[in-house]
């Protein structure tokens, strides 16, 4: 199987998952990859594993790079099963001398695979600043708790000036090309922003601390090899994704309003279109996303990239419409900040949905608009009120950028 030289002695030996379309609730229409990296030197180190079932693909690429040579070390940057699921299988066949991981990663490995298995792996616990010499190359370890699990860490190949940050800087993107400069930039950045919105948005503070830590440690980074998607190897691509992470982690966003809704008998839909008219009358970009027609991972990308968002729902049995309730549960876990937000919707004989949405968004500490509710089909006066709401939120969005 084809393997790819990332830089100097560092090779990509991962696996491509063309078929996955759901990643624990995150829709992945373009598939994904499980990237692993082999550093070939006087000693050979494999950094990261892959999902269960993809081990033979990784093993074939490892053997293609180093033949029958032993893989001396296995580095586990993160224990989530899409990276560690095949590790017991790979260890059985590669028989590494030692496994390196963080303290929390070792604890998690035991919980996943059992004491009797992990005890036989000769696990070495490492912390930030610890190093492992391979000969010409040195691996340096950087703990990265909550990016995006407590056990996460980065591995830096010092001489190759290459950062292997596991889930940091990744994208769910399956392609026959391995490098960002070989793929349409708009596609790569769309998937990178979707990935950040659905995986790393709650951890903006930790992202900022990690970027600061990399600067404090004086790490020169000429290439970034994430564990999903394509590799950043050109200076302009490395700069682009690092700059994007700096902005996303500070919750910077475009002058745009996202209208996120669902509808039952078109009343909430009519409200949505009127609100959108009001937004555009103020010269602000507006994106309309019906939850029953758009994957929630794409809707979350719009939340990441928009300074303001409103959520609309009809009332069903005194509650939010099911798609809206499900999305709010998802959004609450991702904890967006520094956003102008609000609730609107329609009801028949009894309300409830708008009040519930308003309460949920208020609990997130967002900058709230007054909620707007209509009964049955919105009247001309109701639609004018919707237009006015759109104009108000657009003006607030513009003011937030000043």
Question: For the chain, what's the residue count?
Answer: 402
276-296 pLDDT, tens digit per residue, is 999 999 999 999 999 999 999
**CA–CA distance, 237 with 272 (Å, rounded to integer):** 38
For the question of residue 124 being annotated catalytic, the response is: no
For the question of residue 196 being annotated catalytic, the response is: no
Q: Per-residue confidence at 233, pLDDT binned at 50, 70, 90?
A: very high
307-335 pLDDT, tens digit per residue, is 999 999 999 988 899 999 999 999 999 99
Q: Are 164 and 47 contacting, i.e. CB atoms less than 8 angstroms apart?
A: yes
**CA–CA distance, 47 with 37 (Å, rounded to integer):** 5
83: nearest Cα among 151, 140, 161, 157: 151
Active-site option among 2, 19, 24, 402: 24
For the question of residue 382 being annotated catalytic, the response is: no
CB environment 45-69: b (16+ within 10 A), e (fewer): bbbbbbbeebbebbbebbbebbeee
pLDDT at 207: 96
Query: Domain 4-249's class?
Result: alpha beta
> In which order are the strands placed within the sheet that holds 131-133?
131-133, 138-143, 153-157, 162-164, 223-224
Active-site option among 195, 245, 261, 344: 195
3-state percent breakdown (helix, strand, coil) of the chain, nearest 5 = 40, 25, 35
Q: Does 398 score more than 80 pLDDT? A: yes
Q: Per-residue confidence at 140, pLDDT binned at 50, 70, 90?
A: very high
For residue 119, what is the DSSP state?
A: G
**Mean pLDDT on 242-261:** 97
For the question of residue 24 being annotated catalytic, the response is: yes
Q: Are 62 and 38 contacting, i.e. CB atoms less than 8 angstroms apart?
A: yes
pLDDT at 349: 78
Active-site option among 80, 151, 282, 305: 80
Q: Which residues contact 402 (CB under 8 A, 6 or more apart)?
A: none
**Mean pLDDT on 238-250:** 97
For the question of residue 82 being annotated catalytic, the response is: yes
DSSP, collapsed to helix, strand or coil, labels residue 211 as helix
7: nearest Cα among 132, 136, 128: 136
Across all residues in the chain, what is the average pLDDT?
96
Q: Does 24 score more than 90 pLDDT? A: no
pLDDT at 402: 67
Q: Where are the domains of the chain?
A: 4-249, 257-400
Active-site option among 8, 9, 72, 82: 82
For residue 147, what is the DSSP state?
A: S
Active-site option among 34, 228, 262, 269: 228
Active-site option among 37, 78, 344, 358: 78
184-230 pLDDT, tens digit per residue, is 999 999 999 999 999 999 999 999 999 999 999 999 999 999 999 99
Query: Domain 257-400's class?
Result: alpha beta
pTM, entire model: 0.95
For residue 44, what is the DSSP state?
A: E
Active-site option among 8, 72, 167, 282: 167
**Mean pLDDT on 121-134:** 97
């Amino acid at each position: 199987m084809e393997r790819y030289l990332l830089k100097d002695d560092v090779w990509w030996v991962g696996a491509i998952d063309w078929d996955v379309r759901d990643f624990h609730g995150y829709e992945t229409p373009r598939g994904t990859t499980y990237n692993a990296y082999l550093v070939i030197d006087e000693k050979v180190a494999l950094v990261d594993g892959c999902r269960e079932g993809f081990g033979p693909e990784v093993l074939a690429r490892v053997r293609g790079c180093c033949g029958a040579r032993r893989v001396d070390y296995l580095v586990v940057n993160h224990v989530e099963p899409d990276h560690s699921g095949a590790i017991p299988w790979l260890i059985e066949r590669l028989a590494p001398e030692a496994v390196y991981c963080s303290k929390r990663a070792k604890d998690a490995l035991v919980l996943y695979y059992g004491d009797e298995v992990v005890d036989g792996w000769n696990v070495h616990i490492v912390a930030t600043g610890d190093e492992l010499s391979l000969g010409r190359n040195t691996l340096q370890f950087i703990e990265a708790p909550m990016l995006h699990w407590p056990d996460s860490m980065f591995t830096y190949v010092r001489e190759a000036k290459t950062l292997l940050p596991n889930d940091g800087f990744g994208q769910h993107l399956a392609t026959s090309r391995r490098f960002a400069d070989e793929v349409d930039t708009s596609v790569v950045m769309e998937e990178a922003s979707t990935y950040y919105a659905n995986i790393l948005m709650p951890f903006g503070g930790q992202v900022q601390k990690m970027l600061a830590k990399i600067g404090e440690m004086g790490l020169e980074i000429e290439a970034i090899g994430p564990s999903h998607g394509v590799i950043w190897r050109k200076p302009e691509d490395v700069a682009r994704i690092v700059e994007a992470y700096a902005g996303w982690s500070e919750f910077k966003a475009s002058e745009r309003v996202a209208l996120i809704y669902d509808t039952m008998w078109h009343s909430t839909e009519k409200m949505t279109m009127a609100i959108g008219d009001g937004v555009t009358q103020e010269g602000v970009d507006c994106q309309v996303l019906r939850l029953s027609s758009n994957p929630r991972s794409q809707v979350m990308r719009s939340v990441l990239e928009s300074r303001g968002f409103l959520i609309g729902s009809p009332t069903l049995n005194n509650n939010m419409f099911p798609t809206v309730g499900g999305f709010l549960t998802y959004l609450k876990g991702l904890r967006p900040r520094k956003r102008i937000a609000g609730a609107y919707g329609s009801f028949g004989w009894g309300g409830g949905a708008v009040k519930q949405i308003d309460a949920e968004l208020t609990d997130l500490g967002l900058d709230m608009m007054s909620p707007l509710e209509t009964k049955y089909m919105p009247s001309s006066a109701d639609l004018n009120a919707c237009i006015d709401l759109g104009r108000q939120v657009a003006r607030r969005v513009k003011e937030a950028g000043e």
